[in-house]
């Protein structure tokens, strides 16, 4: 069942210690969530057909590879291919058949998991959408908690995480993330991750979305990861490609649009729930870092 993803000479391999990440959780509830993420991520990584074409991005990648303290209940994956009709039922069956074994293998025998629901996104035009997705709700419970187990068996309520799978999203700059002795999974490299976050910020306006997590994540990267000139070149290249595929043409001053900042700052203080009281920087600090990075890209050579 374990996957066949193999590192290549051109694909950097990054070792991450998920056990330390779990132990660093600020409370028992967060620790239980991270155990469930560990099980789900390793289960998905063990499916050969999916593991070869999917890549991890988002908040879990930020935590595992870049040390972000932000708590997240979402596992974000991208697949380069388009979905097929069998994907929803196949993913559900594979996960449900693997959870107990993977829980034991990863040292979490007291954890029980079950797929609750799978939603096609967008619901009405899933097959025709340019960038369709699946929203998988994974329920989890501690076997000693009768209330949690009862809700899990009924398939309703209780603790849950989201496995969000995006299709038709090819990535160029990847790394191989070693998440256990048994499994590795492809993941966005630094430039791909930053370009994706910048693109998502620019796309807030046409999509009517609010992306408050992205300025924080970009600030964290700027503060913790030295960016080289070649990193900035690749960030800009991938930003332009990702944006143009969605009908957006980024310009050197695009991030100065006040509506982008307004949407990114909406409900900013709610991030404190993911970071802990007193640990959230002011929005202005994170936004200054975001604009600084965006405008430091080599636009003159684009």
Structure confidence by residue, pLDDT tens digits, 243-265: 999 999 999 999 999 999 999 99
CB atoms within 10 A of CB 272: 12
Beta-sheet strands, E only, within 27-87: 54-57, 74-79
174 pLDDT higher than 90 = yes
Counted residue by residue, the chain has a size of 302
pLDDT at position 1 is 43
pLDDT at position 217 is 98
Report cis status (omega within 30 of 0) of the bond before 122: yes
pLDDT at position 157 is 87
10 pLDDT higher than 80 = no
6 pLDDT higher than 60 = no
The answer to whether residues 288 and 231 touch, using CB atoms and an 8 Å cutoff, is no
> What Rg, from alpha-carbon coordinates, does the chain have?
19
Name the pLDDT band for 127 (thresholds 50, 70, 90).
confident
Structure confidence by residue, pLDDT tens digits, 180-195: 998 999 999 999 999 9
Q: How many CA atoms lie within 13 A of 181 on its CB side?
A: 3
How far apart CA 109 and CA 295 sit, in angstroms, is 49
How far apart CA 70 and CA 33 sit, in angstroms, is 13
Task: Find, among 135, 159, 187, 158, the residue nearest to 35 by Cα.
Answer: 159
pLDDT at position 3 is 43
Name the pLDDT band for 5 (thresholds 50, 70, 90).
very low
The answer to whether residues 75 and 164 touch, using CB atoms and an 8 Å cutoff, is yes
Q: What percent of the chain has pLDDT over 90?
A: 84
- CATH 3.10.450.620 domain position(s) in the chain: 13-188
What is the rounded average pLDDT for all residues in the chain?
93
pLDDT at position 125 is 85
Name the pLDDT band for 203 (thresholds 50, 70, 90).
very high
Q: Which CATH superfamily is domain 13-188 in?
A: JHP933, nucleotidyltransferase-like core domain (3.10.450.620)
List, in order, residues 6 or more apart from 192 with CB less than 8 Å away.
Answer: 57, 171, 172, 173, 174, 238
167 pLDDT higher than 50 = yes
Residue 107, phi-psi category: left (phi > 0), alpha (psi -120 to 50), beta (remainder): left
Six-digit token string for 275 = 């970071």
pLDDT at position 2 is 42
pLDDT at position 170 is 87
The answer to whether residues 183 and 155 touch, using CB atoms and an 8 Å cutoff, is no
């Amino acid at each position: 069942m374990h996957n066949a993803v193999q590192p290549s000479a051109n694909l950097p391999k990054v070792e991450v210690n998920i056990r330390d990440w779990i132990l660093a959780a600020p409370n028992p509830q967060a620790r239980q969530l991270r155990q469930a993420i560990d099980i789900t991520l390793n289960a998905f990584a063990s499916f050969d057909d999916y593991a070869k074409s999917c890549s991890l991005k988002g908040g879990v990648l930020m935590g595992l590879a870049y040390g972000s303290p932000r708590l997240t209940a979402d596992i974000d994956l991208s697949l380069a291919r388009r979905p097929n009709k069998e994907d929803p039922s196949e993913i559900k069956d594979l996960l449900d058949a693997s959870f107990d074994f993977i829980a034991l293998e990863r040292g979490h025998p007291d954890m029980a998991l079950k797929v609750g629901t799978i939603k096609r996104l967008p619901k009405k035009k899933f097959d025709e959408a340019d960038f369709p997705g699946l929203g998988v709700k994974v329920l989890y419970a501690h076997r000693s908690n009768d209330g949690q187990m009862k809700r899990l068996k009924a398939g309703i309520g209780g603790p849950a995480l989201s496995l969000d799978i995006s299709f038709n999203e090819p990535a160029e700059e990847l790394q191989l993330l070693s998440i256990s002795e048994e499994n590795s999974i492809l993941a966005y490299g630094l430039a791909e991750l930053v370009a994706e976050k910048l693109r998502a910020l620019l796309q807030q306006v046409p999509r009517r979305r609010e992306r408050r997590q992205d300025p924080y994540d970009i600030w964290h990267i700027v503060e913790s990861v030295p960016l080289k000139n070649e990193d900035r070149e690749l960030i800009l290249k991938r930003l332009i490609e990702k944006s143009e595929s969605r009908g957006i043409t980024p310009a050197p001053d695009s991030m100065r649009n006040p509506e982008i900042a307004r949407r990114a700052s909406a409900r900013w203080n709610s991030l404190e729930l993911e970071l802990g009281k007193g640990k959230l920087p002011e929005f202005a600090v994170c936004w200054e870092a975001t604009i600084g990075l965006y405008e430091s890209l080599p636009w003159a050579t684009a």
